[in-house]
Amino acid sequence: MSVKIRLQRHGKKGKPFYWVVAADARSKRDGKYLEKIGTYNPNTNPATIELNLDKAVQWLHNGAQPTDTAKAILSYKGALLKHHLDGGIRKGALTQEQADSKLATWLEAKTGKVDSKKEGLTKAQADAKAKAFKAEQDVNAKRLAAAAKAEADAIAAATPAVEEEVAEVEAEEAPAAEENNEEAQA
């Protein structure tokens, strides 16, 4: 029986979620499996991968062949490196302490890269949010300025009309007042 380390699809349509499993090569994609090794969620950025490193390495020691995608996931999490270092220990090229220190150094560097990517994404999201907020403030300021200008124009347009009406009323009252003055003098 040949064993494959592969992905088993779960989740709903358009939102895939995968289990990383060791399964018989003859079984269906989502069918019977021998052991669940971890999970893979490509919906997040960066993708979330939970992997039991020891189980994955044990299956690799037993001869399980990973599929291309599973191989990329195992490489990303360091399972292939650990498998390689264990081979060096069996041959006598390395001691267990040297292999553990190399793996720990690699895992630290990988964790640093992932954390910097997460920080970069968070910063980019915050910058985009701040930029959108600034643009919204500019639009609101322009809208308020336009409203104030329109109100000032309306007041200015109404003011000459009122002054003309006042002038007309005064012009009508002036002859009447002159007639009253003439009558009073006579």
Q: Does the predicted TM-score (pTM) go above 0.85? A: no
Query: What is the DSSP-derived secondary structure letter of residue 33?
Result: -
Distances (CA, A) of 110 to 28, 58, 116, 117, 175: 33, 22, 10, 11, 98
> How large is the average pLDDT for residues 170-176?
66
* pLDDT above 90 coverage of the chain, percent: 36
DSSP H or E stretch at residue 9: strand 3-12
Q: Which helix (H) or strand (E) holds 8?
A: strand 3-12
| Farthest-apart Cα atoms in the chain, separation | 139
pLDDT grade for 185, boundaries at 50, 70 and 90? low
pLDDT band (50, 70, 90) for residue 176: low
pLDDT of residue 10: 93
Of 180 and 54, which is predicted with more confidence? 54
What is the C-alpha end-to-end distance of the chain, expressed in Å?
A: 136
Tens digit of pLDDT for each residue in 69-121? 999 999 999 899 989 988 888 888 888 888 889 889 988 998 888 888 888 88
